[in-house]
Amino acid sequence: MEPRTTVGIALTILSGTLEGSMAFPMQFASRWRWENIWLVYSIFGILLTPWAVASFTLADSLLIYGQSPRPALWAAFGFGAGWGTGSHN
């Protein structure tokens, strides 16, 4: 198996495990309101971790975004925002 495929499979398994166990630490954070827990999760799970993984696995991740067609980027942003809005009803 190609090394990139192995890394991709490992990252997929890791991300699925982390996503599935996201609520586990909530039982230990009884002093926090759930909004604070979701804020921390959102900062790390939606913003920092994807950028860190992209920077780690792709040499020029920002260059890829720079060369991508603007309509494709706006569509990804729009569908992501729609998914986020729709899932928090």
Phi-psi group of 12: left, alpha or beta (phi > 0 → left; psi -120 to 50 → alpha; rest → beta): alpha
Whole-model pTM over 0.85 = no
Nearest to 25 by CA among 16, 14, 13, 34: 34
Pair 51, 71 in one domain? no
The pLDDT of residue 75: 95
Pair 64, 86 in one domain? yes
The pLDDT of residue 38: 79
- pLDDT one-digit tens code per residue, 25-81: 767 777 777 777 778 878 887 788 888 888 888 878 788 888 999 999 999 989 988
User: Does residue 89 have a pLDDT over 60?
Assistant: no
Give the residue, 71 or 14, on which the prediction is more confident. 71
Average pLDDT over residues 2-17: 83
Structural domain containing residue 75: 59-89
Pair 35, 64 in one domain? no
Pair 45, 9 in one domain? yes
Is the CB of residue 58 less than 8 Å from the CB of residue 64? yes
Torsion, Cα 29 34 36 40, to 10 degrees, reads 80
